[in-house]
Chains A and B, each alone.
Chain A
């Protein structure tokens, strides 16, 4: 079983829809949670970052972490065609051998069509 599970999709939605992307994880030591966005033929870029449980909002994007359920989500409101990309969740612990090293989900391919 992978430490981080992410539904690879693909996910196709109409412009303006609310998108929900999710990851589950098994390692209770994870404390830092990130979402990366990767456009086709580009490297991943950091989109959102959260620490421990709770919500974080940035414009149309909201990241949620529920550590009790080992579940994280990324919501995209009013989705745009420019949001079409692969979204990867990533997480890390606070120290020890996992210090500094991220564990990634498989990535979800999202297409927003006009």
Chain B
């Protein structure tokens, strides 16, 4: 099925551990995004990549890094996880020329203990 695929779906980390969230899309979209979703806060943009080879900070980038590996893949790395990073993480993609919004993945539920 065409769309955005995120792995893993669930993860529990200990404080200080590192991990990488993977995202891949097969719609030939230029732009990709990482969001976190917390109760009462809505979706907050962490990082985005307008096109292959470029990345930019969003609203809440601290504690995260990203890599746009190629046009299909955009990964999010937590170098030293903190309990405040417990959240649901969504990857999304869009055609940079469209105004029709994003296609989202199904999310990664991360708990940091």
Task: Enumerate chain A interface residues (CB-CB to B < 8 A).
Answer: 6, 8, 32, 34, 36, 41-46, 49, 51, 88, 90, 92, 94, 99-102, 104-107
Contact = CB atoms under 8 A, between A and B. Distances in A.
7 closest Cβ pairs, A-B complex: A43-B104, A106-B42, A104-B43, A32-B99, A46-B101, A34-B101, A104-B42
A105 B107 contact: no
B101 A102 contact: yes
Interface in B90-113: 90, 92, 94, 96, 99-107
B50 interface: yes
Interface residues of B, number: 24
Contacts of A44: 43, 90, 102, 104
Given A88-B42, A100-B31, A101-B45, A43 B100 contact: no
Contact of B107 (A41, A51, A92, A104): A41
B82 to A, nearest CB: 23
A43 B106 CA distance: 4
Contact of A100 (B4, B41, B50): B50
A42 B31 CA distance: 21
B40 interface: yes
B43 A51 contact: no
A105 B42 CA distance: 6
A90 B101 contact: yes
Contacts of B106: 42-43
Contacts of A100: 31, 48, 50, 94, 96
